[in-house]
């Protein structure tokens, strides 16, 4: 009767730990200052008065950014909070931002930021080109709730604000009225379903790990779905809103690690194990970064909201299970553990 002896991988445990540390640093060090994030409020354009067919305005990311499109040959001036020139849409399609406008700096953070001393509503505009093709999206405090706490005396379903963004179209004043509504909490059914699927994947990986060093292949469907969700969200937002590259990058790396584990299973079981640990860690970090989307009413993505929450929980559960499997295999592979098992 042949007795299976686990390969001695314990002396390589520090290498695995270093890999995981790199993964965690990668996931935690790519945040932008104020990208569109999950929110409980939906802002919409109520009216444009007087109506003009040469522009189109909407709100993207739930309530995060106002986006304006101007037809070629149309000149638009967006006024700042103090009535000063803030954004200038030129007839040739270029879009310029006034670097001397206090609004430019106050819009850098969702709840406002201090403007430098030189920025003044009375200062001569200092224009810097920020976009072309007559389209630009900017963070505007007049289009969202300006407090991190809930609106007092109101509840989900209520309209919480109505404000006007003043603009000029070909020299004529136009009022853009924005309203924002407190959205109800999302259904938890997609998250529950994602947890069940994640648990099934962990069970498959655990069974596979008993007979195949490339057990990380069981995580492949989850990593693929997470990559799709991340890329969908990243491509849903224009570049000026600073969408986070980490959204598609982390699950894509996890997917690559899963695929790499397959040919490594015979040549280097340790490398296959490390690939599985990397893939699992990437999924955990990705889910942690996006955790606010689990409870928020709106995730800034064109993907179905249920898909976003389903994949987030599935990735987290599968990632935690994958790390547990990898650590368990490392524990069994240490020389001390092998000797103790033989003695019993």
In the prediction, which pLDDT does 213 show?
Answer: 59
pTM of the model as a whole: 0.83
Is 22's pLDDT higher than 90?
no
How far is residue 196's CA from residue 188's CA, in Å, rounded to a whole number? 13
Mean pLDDT for the stretch of residues 72-76: 97
Q: What is the mean pLDDT of residues 303-329?
A: 94
Name which of 325, 331, 249, 204 is nearest 27 in CA terms. 249
Token pair of 330 as six digits: 């490392």
Cβ–Cβ < 8 Å for 283, 319: yes
pLDDT at 216: 81
Per-chain mean pLDDT for the chain: 86
Query: Residue with structure tokens 């368990």?
Result: 328
Mean pLDDT of all residues in 252-267:
86
3-state class of 66 per DSSP?
strand
- Give the mean pLDDT of 236-244: 92
- Which residues lie closer than 8 Å to 42 by C-beta, 6 or more apart? 62, 63, 180, 181, 183, 297, 298
Residue 77 CB neighbour total at 10 angstroms: 18
Q: Which of 255, 247, 243 is nearest to 218 (CA)?
A: 255
The confidence score (pLDDT) of residue 4 equals: 43
Residue 32 has pLDDT above 60, yes or no: no
């Amino acid at each position: 009767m042949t007795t299976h002896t686990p390969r001695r991988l314990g002396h390589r445990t520090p290498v695995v730990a270093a890999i995981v540390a790199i993964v965690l640093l990668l996931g935690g060090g790519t945040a932008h200052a104020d990208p569109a994030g999950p929110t409980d409020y939906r802002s919409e354009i109520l009216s444009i008065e007087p109506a003009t067919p040469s522009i189109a305005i909407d709100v993207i990311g739930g309530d995060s950014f106002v986006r304006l499109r101007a037809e070629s040959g149309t000149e638009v001036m967006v006024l700042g909070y103090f009535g000063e020139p803030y954004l200038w849409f030129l007839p040739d399609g270029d879009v310029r931002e006034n670097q001397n406008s206090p609004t430019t700096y106050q819009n850098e953070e969702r709840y406002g930021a201090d403007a430098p001393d030189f920025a003044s509503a009375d200062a001569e505009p200092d224009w810097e080109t920020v976009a072309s093709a007559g389209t630009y999206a900017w963070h505007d405090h007049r289009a969202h709730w300006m407090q991190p706490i809930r609106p007092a005396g109101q509840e989900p379903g209520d309209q919480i604000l109505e404000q006007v963004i003043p603009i000029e179209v070909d020299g004529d004043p136009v009022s853009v009225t924005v309203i924002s509504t407190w959205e109800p909490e999302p259904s938890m059914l997609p998250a529950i379903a994602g947890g069940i699927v994640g648990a099934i994947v962990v069970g498959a990986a655990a069974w596979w790990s008993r007979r195949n060093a490339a057990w990380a292949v069981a995580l492949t469907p989850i990593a693929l779905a997470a990559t799709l969700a991340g890329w969908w969200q990243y491509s849903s937002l224009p570049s000026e809103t600073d969408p986070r590259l980490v959204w598609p990058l982390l699950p894509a790396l996890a997917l690559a690690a899963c695929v790499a584990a397959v040919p490594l299973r015979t040549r280097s079981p340790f490398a296959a194990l490390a690939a599985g640990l990397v893939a699992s860690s990437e999924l955990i970090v990705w889910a942690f970064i996006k955790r606010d989307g689990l409870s928020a009413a709106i995730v800034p993505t064109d993907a179905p909201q249920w898909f976003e929450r389903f994949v987030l929980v599935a990735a987290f559960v599968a990632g935690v299970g994958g790390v547990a499997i990898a650590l368990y295999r490392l524990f069994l592979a240490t020389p001390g553990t092998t000797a103790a098992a033989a003695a019993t």
